[in-house]
Amino acid sequence: MSDPFNIVGDDFEAPPKFGDAFQAAVSRVQAALERFEGLAAQIPVEAYTEEEWRIVERADEDVADAVEKAEEGFIAVAFDSHAWYRIMENLEQVSLRLEGAVGVMERVRERLAG
């Protein structure tokens, strides 16, 4: 009989390690940030609608905020082991915000080309 409390399924022989999850999260943010910066260099600010620009601007602000929170989080880890969870949540939020902004930026680029 399988474990009724197993929420990760039977796909894992062993649970994923935190270090691996952290590296994957950082890689995802880094890839999204590189795409964001590349598109930002290609698209003039005037090409965005007001709403589109707010999304792009918010993503940029979130990246700056995330760097600050990460520095504080790594200091907090020494005193609070749950700080790792907040770091991971922060990375996920920033990644999602960047990916959303990249989607908007790609649509603006297509509109300019079309």
What local confidence, expressed as pLDDT, does residue 9 receive? Answer: 63
Between residues 45 and 8, the one the model is more confident about: 45
**Amino acid present at 61:** E
pLDDT digit string (tens) for 50-73? 999 999 999 999 888 887 877 777
- Report if pTM > 0.85: no
- Measured CA to CA, the distance from residue 111 to residue 102 in angstroms comes to 14
Give the residue extent of every domain in the chain: 52-114
CB neighbour list of residue 95: distance below 8 Å, 6 or more residues apart: 25, 28, 29, 32
Half-sphere exposure of 17 (CA within 13 A, CB side): 3
Between residues 113 and 74, the one the model is more confident about: 113
3-state secondary structure of 1: coil
Of 9-13, 77-81, 107-111, the least confident: 9-13
